[in-house]
Amino acid sequence: MKKLLRYLCVSLLVCVGVACSKSGIDTIPDPDVPPVDPLPDTLRVLKTGLQFPWEILWGKDNQLWITERNGKISRISPADGSTSFSQNFINVFAQGEGGMLGMVQHPDFVNNGLLYVYYNYLNNGQYRARVERYKFLNDALVEPLVLLDNIPASNIHNGSRLLITADNKLLITTGDAANTALPQLPSSLAGKVLRINLDGTIPADNPIAGNPMWSMGHRNPQGMVMVNNILYTSEHGPNIEDEINIIEKGSNYGWPNVNGPCDGAELSFCAANNIVQPIWSSGGSTLAYCGLDFYHADKLSIWKNSLLLVTLKDQSLRQLKLSDDRKSVLSSTTFFKNQFGRLRDLCVSPQGRVYIITSNGGNNDVIVEVGKLP
């Protein structure tokens, strides 16, 4: 591993040039035609000068899209790190770990320009969160539509990852908003995985009629990915037992009564409430599990059929090798330990490149591109 890290340090290239240009939605290329992959196979810092980015996704337009907690959404070229679009939102209130957080694009984004965001705001002095839809048109995000509102929020534990399923349902992770009484209350939006239609209505097949709750008993899930209809989340533990969970309809994941796998005094609560246990946990420490994605490309073959997880406290990327049925973790391997500081999120391009955002503050945050591993 030391040899690997020495190689990566030597191969680090820094790209700081920014060339801005403007283009509307009509200029976005067809996502069914992957772009040419002309970049060198290496590890490089693609973009510098960011301030607490939260979300990074590979857009349907083959560009990188990011949020920053101060209320900004930007589109960035994966070729040279230039910013072709950026917009600030004055209705976002950044406080503690809150602000502009999760984001996802509509599957048909290149044609309809629809984009969904999760952000915090003040409502008569109370800190809250909402899910809102925008339309990217004429180089601006316009036509806001609130889909889900009045989600409990706090300086910490806001969850906020978004995902659109193959059947066009919007999944939303929420944290306990620093109130441990809420995750076990089906009536509260906090400490849940929520499921709504793309117009904000409640699906008829949700576990409770008229309720957006899909699963409950979550502390602070900040990573979410779906692979072959298996939904995975990564979740922060309090001081031990960060978790990787497979989310099942209507299930309870135990928080605050259970942390990590059921054991000791937790066993009776687990039995009485049919608690679903994690498929992987950090054990006797907390690494601050954060962004989560799945890797199945050939470019970085050692990562194939693995969950890729970034961590804040541990400042590393973890490869979680999955079993053939993808329902258990066979092994964990650590990469980039302490090399870039705290890591918040990541995404994977169609060519198999991995893009990571840091969470260090001081306008020192970066996008790191992983193009090759030895």
Encode pLDDT of 158-197 as tens digits. Answer: 999 999 999 999 999 999 999 999 999 999 999 999 999 9
- Which helix (H) or strand (E) segment holds residue 118: the answer is strand 114-123
Nearest alpha carbon to residue 116 among 76, 70, 78, 172 = 172
Query: How many helices (DSSP H) and strands (DSSP E) are in the chain?
Result: 3, 25
C-alpha to C-alpha distance for 358 and 344, rounded to whole angstroms? 5
The percentage of residues in the chain with a pLDDT greater than 90, rounded to a whole number, is 88
Q: What's the gap between Cα 169 and its chain centre?
A: 17
- Cα distances from 126 to residues 120, 123, 158, 279, in angstroms, run 10, 5, 14, 36
Q: Each residue of 215-251: pLDDT tens digit?
A: 999 999 999 999 999 999 999 999 999 999 999 999 9
Tokens of 264: 């000791």
- Give a yes or no: residue 230 inside a domain: yes
Write down the mean pLDDT value for the chain.
91
Contact assessment for residue 57 and residue 65, using Cβ atoms and an 8 Å cutoff: yes
Q: In the sheet where 53-58 sits, what is the strand order?
A: 53-58, 64-68, 72-76, 83-88
* Distance of alpha carbon 330 from alpha carbon 304, whole angstroms: 13
Q: Are 44 and 368 in contact (CB under 8 A)?
A: yes
Instruction: Say if 158 falls within a structural domain.
Output: yes
What is the domain-level CATH number for residue 361? 2.120.10.30
Question: Quick check: is 28 in a domain?
Answer: no
> What's the rounded Cα separation, in Å, for the pair 104 and 136?
13
Whether this prediction's pTM lies above 0.85 is answered by yes
Say yes or no to pLDDT of 14 above 90. Answer: no
Instruction: Provide the number of structural domains found in the chain.
Output: 1
Q: What is the pLDDT of residue 39?
A: 60
Q: Is the pLDDT of residue 6 over 50?
A: no
Please list the residues that pair with 295 across neighbouring strands: 306
**Is 344 domain-assigned?**
yes
pLDDT digits (tens, 9 = 90+) for 19-54: 333 223 333 333 344 444 456 678 999 999 999 999
Q: Is residue 18 part of a domain?
A: no
**Sign of the torsion angle spanned by Cα atoms 305, 309, 310, 313:** negative
- Domain-embedded: residue 34: no
Give backbone dihedrals phi and psi of 270, rounded to 5 degrees, phi first: -60, -45
Measured CA to CA, the distance from residue 316 to residue 297 in angstroms comes to 21
More confident residue, 289 or 34: 289
**Range of 47's domain?**
2-10+43-370
In a domain, 229, yes or no: yes
Whether residue 30 lies inside any domain: the answer is no
How many percent of the chain have pLDDT more than 70? 89
CB atoms within 10 A of CB 11: 15
Q: For residue 52, which of 246, 325, 343 has the smallest C-alpha distance?
A: 343
